[in-house]
Structure 1
């Protein structure tokens, strides 16, 4: 296969810019589909999941391909909704270039900077499509100026619109200098000429040879202009832009021309860097069908008919049916039969696949998202992307006993498809927790559980894993356990010194017995009793931490003493001592790193203060953003993502990680203790 004739493109935008509509228009224009799919009519072949159709948004990256001018173009339609933006980040990891779609009426939206930062991090060539030019108040020049200023990039128009708003009917292709959908109108001739000269200047700047010719007054040929533009675009020196309307398919054929004319093939991108799985030293692969096979699995799909599909971007070599691949991440080898290319929810088998192609392989048992697949003889391993940490957590409660049995299997399958989901069992509260990137992410996951697996659950905010400790030393705590029944009695007496440890030191047991008051064979039972008592503290039933117990004396009975008697005595003595050593409640404190627009910093800091937070520092993050670091009790930020979105119109983001435990203020501790006692009584 000819890898120079392959294009691999991620279509990226903020939600509501018409990205899926553009992908549908590209497929229809290239005759890859027979009708123009529309999101609003639920006829889109890319947004085919029930949850996507219900919400009218892309939730999961969809795949298709088309032919244009004898080139194979592989499309990845990514989500724009912030809850699912990690899907776009993953697609950018394997794409060779990106179509960045913006709304001509409202080009710079709250999440535009976030989307652009991911594109910039990927470092791949960009083509800007200014969509919805047929809408009221659409203004091409204002849109590209606003994008250039907001993103700090040089935007070079390669086309201008013919007509405005409802009368938008075509465009002037400045590269070919001809009208598309009509002749160049006289009133646009002067503007087109000026922008054509601007375009030539950018083309000339891209190559020394062209620049020299241009500065000496020579006229660049059409071929040289294209060469210079291609060099500038692929070197990410500027962002070319064209206007259009996806729903009216205006500008789409020009976009396809530019994709095959300016955007890079795998060969243009050059060798791919990985590492040797054994030596960890850098290795490279040429994007050639003759090189050793290698690819990166960047998505997993569970298809109701085909089963588990591992979707991979091929970086090097040729994949043919009925072979074996090596997975260096798992150090395992697996056989496979067919290879598919994806066309929306359909799959089409192919006889071979090479560099740049996106293909799917069925039923690879041990392969997960992020794994490399390669030739068993010449292994290589590629890095994946760092996924965002979840920002919202709920406790899952099955609605029935039947759901309880199916819940783990359903969550396991959903996690395979969505690696940004985190599912865990809290060891302290015993709650099953699900964490995601926002409310819509969690809600969509719960809907999928119901629709795909028939599992119904309720969501509640997780219990806070409070703990108990002591602040004072209490010496000489004595407890005697004595019980006389018809048969053998029970007798044990223990003497403890109880003292606090530094935060985070856990538990220390010191056996300091002298004499023979307590036989040493009962010491393990005493320690075991204390550890059992620590599981449920006397204040509110939360675990006790950071305590030292010194077992220095006691009494025993040669007949009635037993391990059980000493264990019971130890439990009661410990509880008694804790209550006499100024017990306090501890709560988990989290470190928040918050990215905030300059104009919202005051609101965010004020809000953190109201949540008992401590602002630890603030510094500029560039692009009109600040980074605020704060320590805040978990109890105050369980739904922080929703409040931050509200305060910053969706532009603020944050990460949170556990920092330490700290004492709960007395007034709040009193309420927590009271609530815990009421729950115990219930």
Structure 2
């Protein structure tokens, strides 16, 4: 832990870090908003440990952030990225996550693969809503956490302010371990609050000095709060009494208690860093490495996720044991144009080796286009990725993370286990994609390749839902947001060579009758041989919403032979599917067949089907036909300060607010009924309105008449 040892780094550039036992592994996920400096921090840590020659560069000269061609072009992280390094004999798997809410699926995958989290906060920008939500998510599962403050040398940065902000947002368990020393706009070093020593980086290397009297007041203030926080979390109940009586507590005791409190998720150390090279010395890497290796728990100390047999029975007795039954989970899938599909795998139990046959099972997302799996596959080689470079690994033990090649059927979220004793890891919570984007291929050649390309995207991304809407005849990608949609379309174009274009989304409407009307269907045709003869009279009247079709037979005297009455109903149903006004299905009507005529030779099933269709169309021409729009029940969860704006916005969308209720502390659930036409892009609008903190769900409720001015526009468009 901090200040116990100066430590050393190992792992020369180009050599893949490896671990032979679980207690020598730390899996750490980096969480923070876009621009907070997560990737820069990862690159500085890689350079500090000698994993790369200089910050941000791997063997092929690209940066660690060059994980994906989209990231290179758009200059932002959109994928979960693994960066392994070694410090003091401990392998640290750093999982760099996207900072955009659109890619929360990758972020949650990183949380599943990790045993501890580094929350990266920019001293210039502060804490955003998504970071707050993820802190609460980690708290709910007891995940150990630490806070890393970046850009402390920024002209707008104020260390006292950022500490106060983090304590206000994350709670009183957050406390700084070091005090940054800023001179002429540069951070030259850190003062250890427990040791009261100045670790000077001004010359480019770390040296130890006395801090001098200038910082003593600030040291005393932060040091007292730090010691009190450590003692409150200590398992030694006598420590507080000794401290309050004026006894000077030994630093080694404080560090031991601090390590234990951090490992069990009860205390959250804060460290200020400067990771960007060129603007001054890189500061805080050694101290951060010590926090991760000595404070964060090993995989053996972190509970396994829920694991069951294939038929759902609990799988008991599993631990993080390299000699135990194999249980691993695919946390990320990518497609490489040269080596094919690559799966990033976290091993929870057992040992994964190249060329072994494993059972693939998962994963309960069939409604999103992800088929369930229950099959055996032979894996290819194992590797440890770093940027675009894949470095061969001989094995991957319990607690470690590696990349697996040639799993042709496995997808993100699937479980790998022993083929003779298959098991299933309960999947992590996956957010529902709520932004529909309708697309179509630009050419016949693109259309031929589109299905296969979309299949690969679906395999990689469990937050994507693919819908072939039979009603609107549109191909719809359900995405997490606009940035998510842009990345998916970019992948289709650049990675898979498929050009598509966005088109206007069609919301499936319905039609119904505005009043009672009668219609006659006359299908009389004489040709050589048998002709067609069918006449039917129907009366149509509207029913209550949700009633569907009620077909009533009032034929007397056999004017329509009994065998042809179902034919009339079949024809009516066929015309209802095609619509009578703007091409949308007709719903909620009663059709009464009350008269008709038949011919002993020329009448037939098909003749009366056609007559039924004609009768419905004639009746529709005599009364106003109504267009019906789908209405959803919408539940919006937002911070209290955004409730007014959300309710006002829902009302402006022709919504009816049903009520509000408090959910936890500082959050409110708003329930409303809103037409689907008004919320096709609500995922984007709500995020903007709530500064990224709002979420919503939607459930189809019923159909209601569309306002006349909107119906007139749709009728005109269909003519």
Write out per-residue CA displacement over residues 425-480 of structure 1, whole angstroms, 9 at most, x where no aligned residue.
11111011112111111112111111112211111231121111235444x64332
> 1:284 offset after TM fit, Å?
4.4
What TM-score does the superposition give when structure 2 sets the normalisation length?
Answer: 0.89
SS of the residue corresponding to residue 201 of structure 1 reads: helix
Please show how residues 165-180 of structure 1 align to structure 2 within 5 Å. Answer: 166-180=185-199
> 1:385 offset after TM fit, Å?
1.8
SS of the residue corresponding to residue 426 of structure 2 reads: coil
Between the aligned partners of 1:542 and 1:165, the Cα distance in structure 2 is 70
- Is 1:126 aligned to 2:145, yes or no? yes
> 1:285 offset after TM fit, Å?
1.4
Q: Which segment is superposed worse, 57-66 or 156-165? A: 156-165
> 1:357 offset after TM fit, Å?
0.9
SS of the residue corresponding to residue 40 of structure 2 reads: helix
Change over 3 Å in CA distance of 1:627–1:164 after alignment to 2: farther
- Of 343, 356, 369, the match for 1:323: 356
- Is 1:163 aligned to 2:182, yes or no? yes
- Of 552, 558, 568, the match for 1:526: 568
Between the aligned partners of 1:5 and 1:220, the Cα distance in structure 2 is 30
- Of 235, 253, 259, the match for 1:230: 259
Change over 3 Å in CA distance of 1:492–1:335 after alignment to 2: same
Write out per-residue CA displacement over residues 269-316 of structure 1, whole angstroms, 9 at most, x where no aligned residue.
245542233252353411121221211111111122221122211111
Counterpart in 2 of 1:482? 524
Contact residue 461 and residue 638 of structure 1 kept, 8 A: no
Contact residue 202 and residue 232 of structure 1 kept, 8 A: no
- Is 1:344 aligned to 2:370, yes or no? no
Between the aligned partners of 1:99 and 1:165, the Cα distance in structure 2 is 29
Counterpart in 2 of 1:81? 100
Between the aligned partners of 2:657 and 2:617, the Cα distance in structure 1 is 37
Contact residue 173 and residue 229 of structure 2 kept, 8 A: no
Counterpart in 2 of 1:196? 223
- Is 1:559 aligned to 2:601, yes or no? yes
Change over 3 Å in CA distance of 1:272–1:84 after alignment to 2: closer
Write out per-residue CA displacement over residues 341-369 of structure 1, whole angstroms, 9 at most, x where no aligned residue.
22222222212211221112222233221
Q: Unpaired runs of 5+ in structure 1?
A: 678-682
Write out per-residue CA displacement over residues 616-636 of structure 1, whole angstroms, 9 at most, x where no aligned residue.
111233454332222111111
Counterpart in 1 of 2:331? 298
SS of the residue corresponding to residue 23 of structure 1 reads: helix
Counterpart in 2 of 1:418? 461
Counterpart in 1 of 2:7? none
Between the aligned partners of 2:423 and 2:195, the Cα distance in structure 1 is 43
Change over 3 Å in CA distance of 1:676–1:121 after alignment to 2: farther
- Is 1:104 aligned to 2:123, yes or no? yes
Q: Which segment is superposed worse, 510-519 or 314-323? A: 510-519
Write out per-residue CA displacement over residues 192-250 of structure 1, whole angstroms, 9 at most, x where no aligned residue.
344334333333332332x3144235554443222211221122222110101121431
Between the aligned partners of 1:200 and 1:602, the Cα distance in structure 2 is 43
Contact residue 479 and residue 572 of structure 1 kept, 8 A: yes
Between the aligned partners of 2:657 and 2:40, the Cα distance in structure 1 is 44
- Is 1:32 aligned to 2:51, yes or no? yes
| Aligned residue pairs, count | 673
Change over 3 Å in CA distance of 1:220–1:269 after alignment to 2: farther
SS of the residue corresponding to residue 442 of structure 1 reads: helix
Counterpart in 2 of 1:458? 501
Counterpart in 2 of 1:399? 442
Write out per-residue CA displacement over residues 522-569 of structure 1, whole angstroms, 9 at most, x where no aligned residue.
334323211210122222121112233333442101122222221111
Between the aligned partners of 1:47 and 1:540, the Cα distance in structure 2 is 50
- Is 1:92 aligned to 2:111, yes or no? yes
Please show how residues 351-366 of structure 1 align to structure 2 within 5 Å. Answer: 351-366=394-409
Counterpart in 1 of 2:341? 308
Counterpart in 2 of 1:431? 474
Contact residue 159 and residue 172 of structure 1 kept, 8 A: yes
Please show how residues 137-148 of structure 1 align to structure 2 within 5 Å. Answer: 137-148=156-167
> 1:667 offset after TM fit, Å?
2.6
- Of 232, 235, 240, the match for 2:269: 240
Contact residue 47 and residue 62 of structure 1 kept, 8 A: no
Counterpart in 1 of 2:417? 374
Between the aligned partners of 1:602 and 1:214, the Cα distance in structure 2 is 46
Between the aligned partners of 2:142 and 2:388, the Cα distance in structure 1 is 30
Between the aligned partners of 2:634 and 2:623, the Cα distance in structure 1 is 33
SS of the residue corresponding to residue 434 of structure 1 reads: strand
Write out per-residue CA displacement over residues 608-654 of structure 1, whole angstroms, 9 at most, x where no aligned residue.
21211111111233454332222111111222233334433444333
Counterpart in 2 of 1:680? none
Counterpart in 1 of 2:80? 61
Contact residue 453 and residue 492 of structure 2 kept, 8 A: yes
Between the aligned partners of 2:613 and 2:533, the Cα distance in structure 1 is 14
Change over 3 Å in CA distance of 1:348–1:598 after alignment to 2: same
Q: Which segment is superposed worse, 222-231 or 57-66? A: 222-231
- Is 1:668 aligned to 2:687, yes or no? no
Change over 3 Å in CA distance of 1:43–1:205 after alignment to 2: same
Counterpart in 1 of 2:670? 628
What TM-score does the superposition give when structure 1 sets the normalisation length?
Answer: 0.93
Q: Which segment is superposed worse, 598-607 or 53-62? A: 598-607
> 1:146 offset after TM fit, Å?
0.7
> 1:28 offset after TM fit, Å?
1.0
Q: Unpaired runs of 5+ in structure 2?
A: 1-19, 201-206, 363-372
Between the aligned partners of 1:666 and 1:272, the Cα distance in structure 2 is 54
- Is 1:498 aligned to 2:531, yes or no? no
Between the aligned partners of 2:71 and 2:633, the Cα distance in structure 1 is 34
